Amino acid sequence: MRPIKFRAWSYSLQKMVYVSIEAMDFGLYSLDSSWDECIRPFDSEDSDCELMQFTGLLDKNGKEIWEGDLIIPWGCKQIYTVSWHNYGWHLTGKFLKYPRELRWTEDYEVIGNIWENKKLIKE
């Protein structure tokens, strides 16, 4: 079974915050009072944070693959974004007509994420 882990992008701090699952209360508070990085509920329109989940997969270098990561599949030169679509983790990108399933049998390389590496998305 894969570990359930979360991280959040803090708009105000402009950095990634790793979130303890024990500190979360979905729908009521984003984090408990010991975490001051994200103080508004994740699901509210004025939330300071964007919540992301760990996929349970590692890239070819042993780095965790998270929702919102930018990855390159082995043997490919295109950059794809990891996202959840209806029934599982998928890759999306400007050269894909439909989301492609993120498979544990393939080698990927994480090169950044959509929050800290916006320049890579434009390329």
Q: What is the pLDDT of residues 73-84, one digit of tens each?
A: 988 888 999 999
* pTM score, whole prediction: 0.78
Task: Pick from 17-21, 24-28, 96-100 the range whose average pLDDT is largest.
Answer: 96-100
What is the CATH topology of the domain spanning 6-122? Answer: SH3 type barrels. (2.30.30)
pLDDT of residue 32: 42
Instruction: Pick the closest to residue 35 from 54, 48, 46 (CA basis).
Output: 48
Residue spans of the domains in the chain: they are 6-122
pLDDT of residue 26: 53
Q: Quick one: residue 37, left, alpha or beta (phi over 0 = left, psi -120 to 50 = alpha)?
A: alpha
pLDDT of residue 56: 92
State how far the Cα of 9 lies from the Cα of 29, in Å rounded to an integer.
16
Report the pLDDT averaged over residues 63-87: 91
pLDDT of residue 29: 42
**Helices and strands in the chain: count of H runs, count of E runs:** 1, 9
The pLDDT mean for the chain works out to: 78
State how far the Cα of 8 lies from the Cα of 27, in Å rounded to an integer.
15
